């Protein structure tokens, strides 16, 4: 006769199996979240030691093309064009070029009354890369630098002067400091804080450790001929800046960062716009991770190209807001389970450590100007922002294969808020 297990024995075996499964799951999640947390912590800590680039003595005033592509941006483009003409850089040394895709005839007429160049374009499927290529194909001037802005961007008056000075150091590309020009809603404040966190981690922190600054898609400058040639091979529908970045890093071109060269950018004010924008960004990141991870590993092993490999790893990192939400929520859940089940105490210490390191990463990265009551009130919207980001993550499939337009409104700089 076969021996049978009593109910207590069966319960103990089932409990043992459940505990093993729980611990395996816990280890997997800890590894994923722990790696991402340590990654941002490393660069957020390094960013504290960032020193602004020293501008050398200027040898010459370079000719700059300020390229501003816009799709149906009739509401903002006139003010943006006028502001772009208000630089302290000599007017004869730069041209403002509005690349007008599907603008109203009256908007085009008003633009042509300004001291700028207007290039009209229209495509069956519009993209930023198509607009830039078409404009550079038609431009006849001899330019040294190409500055790329979004249709809502406002440059600080000394932006072009600082860009010109930076190119004395023979960079191929520099990224300016993109900052918020509006913080009039809780979502806009969170978006502005997110931008500054990224500036700290992916620009300041990376430059301190000798890696390239990330570029954003606007407020960036390139050697003109280099940019014009490179753009001919750019085919991205969404995330054209990521394709540019990968091409540059693959070929060992460093990207500098100018923290004091400011470009003001409109921060999102509506949940729908936030979701669409993040959906496009996340889809592009996943697409380029899949495309370049293998070649970045090869470049790391065969040529020691850390920059290119780091960029591929960067693309698979979860969005900062989701990482924070996941660490706090899952950390709390597993912490309570571990206490209740009286499992190995090492898990308790690990979850507390990951949470503390994650929170410190954010505290290191957020500028002091954000430590105020307005930001504190905006934090009440943080759970909603996490849900919006999670929703965007669930809908990223194919988003990089279609043009998703972010419409802007007429907004002055943050100083007027």
User: Count of residues for the chain?
Assistant: 417
CA distances from 256 to 57, 130, 323 (A): 18, 25, 27
Q: How many CA atoms lie within 13 A of 11 on its CB side?
A: 3
Gap between the Cα atoms of 66 and 220, Å rounded? 10
pLDDT at site 278: 63
**Mind giving me the DSSP string for 93-115?**
GEEEEEEEES--HHHHHHHHTSS
Q: Is 211 left (phi over 0), alpha (psi -120 to 50) or beta?
A: beta
Task: At 144, give phi and psi (nearest 5°).
Answer: -100, -35
Pairing of strands 117-121, 145-148: unpaired
pLDDT tens-digit series, residues 356-369 = 999 999 999 999 99
Handedness of CA 18, 327, 388, 186 (dihedral sign): positive
Q: Which domains are present in the chain?
A: 64-269 (3.90.550.10)
Q: What is the pLDDT of residues 43-90, one digit of tens each?
A: 999 999 999 878 888 889 999 999 999 988 898 999 999 999 999 999
Using CA atoms of 319, 320, 321, 324 in order, give the dihedral in degrees to the nearest 10: 120
- Model pTM score: 0.86
Which residues share a beta bridge with 236?
A: none
- Which two three-digit tokens encode residue 112? 């042509």
How many angstroms separate the CA atoms of 252 and 98, rounded? 31
Nearest to 322 by CA among 28, 32, 24, 25: 32
Task: Check if the beta carbon of residue 116 is closer than 8 Å to that of residue 98.
Answer: yes
Confidence of residue 269 (pLDDT cuts 50, 70, 90): low
Q: What is the pLDDT of residues 353-408, one digit of tens each?
A: 999 999 999 999 999 999 999 888 888 877 776 676 666 656 656 555 555 555 55
Q: Which two three-digit tokens encode residue 6?
A: 């009593």
Which runs of consecutive H residues, i.e. helices, occur in 139-270?
A: 159-166, 186-199, 206-208, 224-231, 240-250
Residue 70, beta-bridge partner list? 100
Residue 392, token pair as written in the block:
């965007």
Contact 72, 101 (CB under 8 A): yes
86-131 pLDDT, tens digit per residue, is: 999 999 999 999 999 989 999 999 999 999 999 999 888 888 899 9
Q: The dihedral of CA 12, 14, 15, 19: what is its sign? A: positive
Element (H, E) at 409: none
* Beta pairing class for 173-180 and 220-223: antiparallel
Q: Is 173 helix (H, G, I), strand (E, B) or coil?
A: strand
- Under a CB-based contact definition with an 8 Å cutoff, are residues 357 and 41 in contact? yes
């Amino acid at each position: 006769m076969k021996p049978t297990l009593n109910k207590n024995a069966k319960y103990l075996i089932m409990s043992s199996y459940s505990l093993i499964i729980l611990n395996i799951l816990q280890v997997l999640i800890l590894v994923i979240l722990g790696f991402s947390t340590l990654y941002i912590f490393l660069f957020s800590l390094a960013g504290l030691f960032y020193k602004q680039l020293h501008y050398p003595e200027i040898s010459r005033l370079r000719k700059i093309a300020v390229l501003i592509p816009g799709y149906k941006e009739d509401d903002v483009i006139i003010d943006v064009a006028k502001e772009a003409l208000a630089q302290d850089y000599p007017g004869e040394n730069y041209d403002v070029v509005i690349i007008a895709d599907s603008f109203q005839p009256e908007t085009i007429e008003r633009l042509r009354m300004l001291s700028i160049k207007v290039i009209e374009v229209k495509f069956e499927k519009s993209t930023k890369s198509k607009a830039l290529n078409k404009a550079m194909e038609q431009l006849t001037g001899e330019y040294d630098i190409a500055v790329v802005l979004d249709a809502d961007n406002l440059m600080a008056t000394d932006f072009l002067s600082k860009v010109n000075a930076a190119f004395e150091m023979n960079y191929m590309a520099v990224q300016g400091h993109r900052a918020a020009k509006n913080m009039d809603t809780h979502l806009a404040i969170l978006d502005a804080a997110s931008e500054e966190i990224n500036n700290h981690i992916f620009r300041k922190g990376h430059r301190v450790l000798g890696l390239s600054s990330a570029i954003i898609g606007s407020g960036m400058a390139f050697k003109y001929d280099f940019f014009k040639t490179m753009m001919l091979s750019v085919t991205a529908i969404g995330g054209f800046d990521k394709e540019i970045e990968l091409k540059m890093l693959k070929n060992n071109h460093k990207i500098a960062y100018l923290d004091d060269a400011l470009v003001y950018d409109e921060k999102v004010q509506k949940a729908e716009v936030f979701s669409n924008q993040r959906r496009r960004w996340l889809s592009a990141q996943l697409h380029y991770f899949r495309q370049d991870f293998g070649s970045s590993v090869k470049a790391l092993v065969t040529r020691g190209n850390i920059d290119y490999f780091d960029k591929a790893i960067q693309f698979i990192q979860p969005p900062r807001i989701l990482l924070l939400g996941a660490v706090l929520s899952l950390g709390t859940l597993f912490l309570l389970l571990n206490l209740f089940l009286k499992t190995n105490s090492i898990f308790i210490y690990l979850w507390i450590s990951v949470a503390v390191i994650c929170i410190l990463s954010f505290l290191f990265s957020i500028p002091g100007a954000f430590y105020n009551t307005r930001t504190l009130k905006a934090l009440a919207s943080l759970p909603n922002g996490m849900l919006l980001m999670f929703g965007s993550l669930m809908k990223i499939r194919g988003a990089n294969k279609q043009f998703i337009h972010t419409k802007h409104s007429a907004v002055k700089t943050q100083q007027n808020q």
